[in-house]
């Protein structure tokens, strides 16, 4: 086997990580206010030889009662499966094993998770939208499990590496899982008053659940971390996958009031704009004074962020005074994005593979070093 295949970088010490993360947080805090003078650049190179994550084995089924301290330690170890560069901020995800977590608010309201080999899902439980009266019980078993894992992650992580606020999800996408997408489409058209009634209960539950996790950070002055981005105060990537099924008038009626309510709980609100079918709602989002930044995700099978067809939309977001989060799937795409868009408000997340050539490219393209 060639030397190239054995290339790696040492895992940085806690002291090195702490200093780098502090510097990155200062820059990201300026980016939230669109006061950055160079792009926020998250460079992440996967270590191909890193030992496999064992978290799924530690939580094999929904019925299992895992050792959350051991699971947290394994999740924390997995932070080092990548080397970081630029302004990246390592963080740790409170996943059910290594599987991603879907809209966990659904579990807190009665859905039962089904563990698959690589993902988690659940079956609908609402047969009639008129009978659904969402209530949150702090003794819900899945809420307590999520909270226990989050607390163990907070203890297992060095103070400067934060666990993510779980993927709680928005009320309509959670509702579409609990009800079934097709049935909810009919409900939105035939019974909009029921959707409004449920919103008035589910959105405050989101805020209550969010607060339950956020207050368990060991040091609130460290800010808040999500699966997407860190902020110096409360933040969350608000989204609505179900909005692809809605027209702009329905979006304004059913989703914009949610943003208004959440603005009282989230200081740094990001919108996760997921796929071309959501672009029709961009004008409404840009009218909201509460949205500070928008993450654009083209979706599977679509041209990547660096392709010119997305340029008018991305420039429109930046011209509105918001930040934008874009994705690059290799270092060349990241360089293209930097060369295409102004630095102010721009944040790029770039994943690639660790090898000697890519580590060299990071220094040549961006003047950065991996750590």
Q: Where are the domains of the chain?
A: 56-81+90-323+333-343
Residues whose CB falls within 8 Å of the CB of residue 145, separated by 6 or more in sequence, listed in order: 68
Tell me how many degrees the CA angle 166-116-101 measures, rounded to the nearest 5.
5
Contact 179, 237 (CB under 8 A): no
pLDDT at 2: 43
Contact 219, 228 (CB under 8 A): no
Q: Residue 279 and residue 281: Cα distance in Å, rounded?
A: 5
Q: Where are the alpha helices (DSSP H) in the chain?
A: 14-32, 55-58, 68-78, 105-108, 141-156, 171-179, 181-190, 192-214, 248-254, 256-262, 282-287, 311-319, 331-340, 356-366
pLDDT at 246: 97
pLDDT at 1: 37
pLDDT at 5: 60
SS3 content of the chain, % helix, strand, coil (to 5): 45, 15, 40
Work out the burial of residue 38: count CB atoms within 10 Å of its CB; fewer than 13 is exposed, 13-18 middle, 19 or more buried.
middle
pLDDT at 6: 75
pLDDT digit of tens for each residue in the chain (371 aa)? Answer: 344 567 889 999 999 999 999 999 999 999 999 999 999 999 999 999 899 999 999 999 999 999 999 999 999 999 999 999 999 999 999 999 998 887 899 999 999 999 998 899 999 999 999 999 999 999 999 999 999 999 999 999 887 899 999 999 999 999 999 999 999 999 999 999 999 999 999 999 999 999 999 999 988 889 999 999 999 999 999 999 999 999 999 999 999 999 999 999 999 999 999 999 999 999 999 999 999 999 999 999 999 999 999 999 999 999 999 999 999 999 999 999 999 999 999 999 999 999 999 999 999 999 999 98
Q: Residue 59 and residue 69: Cα distance in Å, rounded?
A: 12
- The separation between the first and the last C-alpha atoms of the chain, rounded to the nearest angstrom, is 25
pLDDT at 3: 43
pLDDT at 100: 82
The pTM is what?
Answer: 0.96
Fold adopted by 56-81+90-323+333-343: TIM Barrel (3.20.20)
Tell me how many degrees the CA angle 92-96-98 measures, rounded to the nearest 5.
65
pLDDT at 102: 78
């Amino acid at each position: 086997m060639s030397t190239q295949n054995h290339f790696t970088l040492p895992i940085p010490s806690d002291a090195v990580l702490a200093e780098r993360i502090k510097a990155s947080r200062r820059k990201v805090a300026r980016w939230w206010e669109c006061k950055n003078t160079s792009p926020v650049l998250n460079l992440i190179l996967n270590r191909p030889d890193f030992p496999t994550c064992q978290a799924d084995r530690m939580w094999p089924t929904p019925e299992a009662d895992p050792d959350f301290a051991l699971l947290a330690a394994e999740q924390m170890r997995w932070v080092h499966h990548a080397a970081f560069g630029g302004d990246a901020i390592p963080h740790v995800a409170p996943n059910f094993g290594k599987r991603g977590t879907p809209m966990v608010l659904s579990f807190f309201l009665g859905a039962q998770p089904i563990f698959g080999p690589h993902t988690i899902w659940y079956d609908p439980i609402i047969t009639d939208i008129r009978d659904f009266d969402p209530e949150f019980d702090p003794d819900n078993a899945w809420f307590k499990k999520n909270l226990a894992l989050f607390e163990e992650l907070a203890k297992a992580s060095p103070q400067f590496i934060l666990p993510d606020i779980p993927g709680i999800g928005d009320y309509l996408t959670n509702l579409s899982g609990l009800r079934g997408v097709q049935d909810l489409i009919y409900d939105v058209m035939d019974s909009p008053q029921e959707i409004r009634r449920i919103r008035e209960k589910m959105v405050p539950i989101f805020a209550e659940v969010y607060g339950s996790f956020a207050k368990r950070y060991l040091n609130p002055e460290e800010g808040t971390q999500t699966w997407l981005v860190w902020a110096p105060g409360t933040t969350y990537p608000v989204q609505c996958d179900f909005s692809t099924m809605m027209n702009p008038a329905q979006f304004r009626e059913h989703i914009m009031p949610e943003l208004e309510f959440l603005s009282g709980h989230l200081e740094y609100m990001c919108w996760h704009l997921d796929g071309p079918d959501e672009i029709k709602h961009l004008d409404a989002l840009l009218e909201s004074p509460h949205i500070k930044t928008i993450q654009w995700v083209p979706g599977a099978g679509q041209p990547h962020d660096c392709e010119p067809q997305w340029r008018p939309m991305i420039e429109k977001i930046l011209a509105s005074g918001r930040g934008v989060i874009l994705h690059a799937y290799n270092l060349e795409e990241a360089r293209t994005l930097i060369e295409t868009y102004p630095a102010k408000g721009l944040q790029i997340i770039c994943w690639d593979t660790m090898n000697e050539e890519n580590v060299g490219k990071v220094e040549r393209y961006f003047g950065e070093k991996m750590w």
